[in-house]
């Protein structure tokens, strides 16, 4: 579909006027977090309740709200320049889009699962079996890679009930907490794909200089937020003599900020600590004489 063509009656995409377009899931598990990504990047949207389209005044970006299954194709066809969608849907649709950034939400696994009391030993037990799934393309590719011949049965929903109806011997479905599988007395036996939400782009949009510039600006903002979420800012007071020991404990980053305190021989040390090292660092710091350790969340972190 060409840009500027009416998508639905009464809803017309505007022609290019120096604005980017992004498609997001309208309703569902990714909808709220996708909007939050934009908000965290300073993209304020005009209220879009019940509407399929929203504009931002604070960034040259228009948002189209779609079913997640349609997003890869809309981006591939250039109807929108960008999209946020689960890797699972992206791989299943096989769309030709540029995969830009993993966004750290919507995490799940597309897994093979079998009835709990099956004597499953290895993936080769699935040879000749019937496997129900809503992801036939991803599953077929996985089985081919493993050189397993099985009958793939495409089902659009409630895949988890198919073994109890004797429609299938195993299923391949998304799992997050695992409770749906447990309720249906199924157990996951093999991860086919690890998925999370991803920012994707139309390859031609990435080549168009003015679009590329806007996409890069948006990505920098999004990344600064994602990076900040993984970081804590730690402040402490300590005897000046402990500084070297404290510096040894603080991981990577740049060198900490050190400020002398009014009390003689005491300093304040400030630094950013990646979340993964956080508890380890705090526990070690306690042994150095550091006191009054304060930890605050980081709002944005712009890396150069």
Binding-site ranges for ligand PRT (CB under 6 A): 25, 27-30, 67-69, 86, 88-89, 106, 108, 173-180, 195
Q: Which does 36 bind (CB under 5 to 8 A by kind): ligand PRT, Zn ion, none?
A: none
Please state the closest distance from residue 28 (CB atom) to Zn ion, in A: 7
Tokens encoding 70 = 């349609």
Residue 69 sits in the site that holds Zn ion (CB under 5 A): yes
Please state the closest distance from residue 226 (CB atom) to ligand PRT, in A: 17
Please state the closest distance from residue 70 (CB atom) to Zn ion, in A: 8
Tokens encoding 56 = 């931002």
Q: Which is nearer to ligand PRT, 176 or 257 (CB)?
A: 176
Q: Do residues 61 and 201 touch, judged by C-beta distance below 8 A? A: no
Please state the closest distance from residue 286 (CB atom) to ligand PRT, in A: 37
In order of 35, 68, 231, 275, 278, the CA distances from 216 in angstroms are 18, 24, 22, 26, 30
Please state the closest distance from residue 27 (CB atom) to ligand PRT, in A: 6
Residue 158 sits in the site that holds Zn ion (CB under 5 A): no
Q: Which is nearer to ligand PRT, 17 or 156 (CB)?
A: 156
Please state the closest distance from residue 108 (CB atom) to ligand PRT, in A: 3
Helices (H), the chain: 31-40, 71-76, 87-93, 136-145, 179-183, 203-207, 209-229, 243-249, 278-286
Task: Determine the size of the site formed for Zn ion (CB under 5 A).
Answer: 2
DSSP 161: G
- Among 93, 47, 100, CA closest to 74: 93
Say which residues have a Cβ less than 8 Å from residue 136's Cβ, sequence separation at least 6. 92, 152, 154
Near Zn ion by CB under 5 A, which window of 44-52, 61-69, 188-196, 280-288?
A: 61-69
Per CB under 5 A, contacts with Zn ion among 245-284 are none
Near Zn ion by CB under 5 A, which window of 53-61, 67-75, 159-167, 288-296?
A: 67-75
Residue 109 sits in the site that holds Zn ion (CB under 5 A): no
Please state the closest distance from residue 11 (CB atom) to Zn ion, in A: 20
**How far is Cα 187 from Cα 113, in angstroms, rounded to an integer?**
5
Residue 68 sits in the site that holds Zn ion (CB under 5 A): yes
Q: Which does 175 bind (CB under 5 to 8 A by kind): Zn ion, ligand PRT, none?
A: ligand PRT
**How far is Cα 82 from Cα 24, in angstroms, rounded to an integer?**
9
Q: Which residue has the tokens 């005897």?
A: 239
Q: Do residues 6 and 15 touch, judged by C-beta distance below 8 A? A: no
Binding characters for Zn ion, 14-53, by CB under 5 A (x = yes): ----------------------------------------
Tokens encoding 213 = 């510039």
Phi, psi of 23 (to 5 degrees): -105, 135
Tokens encoding 200 = 């994707």
Q: Which does 61 bind (CB under 5 to 8 A by kind): Zn ion, ligand PRT, none?
A: none
Interface residues with Zn ion (CB under 5 A) are: 68-69
């Amino acid at each position: 579909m060409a840009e500027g063509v009416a998508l639905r009656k009464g809803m017309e995409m505007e022609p290019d006027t120096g604005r980017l377009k992004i498609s997001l899931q309208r309703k569902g598990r990714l909808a709220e977090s996708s909007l939050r990504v934009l908000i965290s990047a300073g993209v304020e949207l005009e209220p879009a309740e019940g509407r399929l389209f929203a504009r931002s005044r604070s960034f040259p970006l228009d948002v189209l709200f779609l079913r997640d299954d349609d997003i890869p194709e809309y981006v591939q066809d250039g109807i929108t320049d960008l999209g946020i969608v689960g890797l699972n849907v992206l791989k299943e649709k096989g769309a030709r889009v540029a995969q830009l950034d993993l966004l750290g939400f919507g995490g799940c696994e597309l897994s093979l699962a079998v009835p709990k009391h099956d004597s499953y030993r290895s993936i080769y037990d699935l040879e000749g079996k019937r496997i129900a799934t809503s992801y036939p393309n991803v599953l077929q590719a996985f089985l081919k890679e493993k050189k397993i011949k099985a009958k793939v049965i495409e089902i659009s929903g409630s895949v988890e009930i198919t073994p109890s109806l004797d429609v299938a011997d195993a299923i391949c479905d998304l799992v997050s907490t695992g409770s749906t599988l447990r309720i249906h007395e199924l157990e996951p036996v093999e991860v086919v794909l690890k998925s999370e939400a991803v920012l994707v782009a139309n390859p031609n949009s990435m080549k168009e200089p003015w679009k590329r510039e806007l996409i890069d600006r948006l990505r920098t903002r999004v990344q600064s937020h994602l990076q900040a979420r993984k970081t804590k800012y730690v402040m402490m007071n300590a005897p000046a003599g402990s500084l070297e020991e404290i510096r040894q404990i603080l991981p990577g980053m740049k060198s900490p900020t050190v400020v002398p305190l009014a009390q003689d021989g005491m300093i304040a040390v400030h630094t950013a600590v990646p979340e993964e090292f956080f508890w380890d660092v705090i526990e070690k710091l306690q042994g150095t004489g550091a006191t009054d350790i304060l930890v605050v969340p980081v709002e944005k972190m712009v890396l150069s």
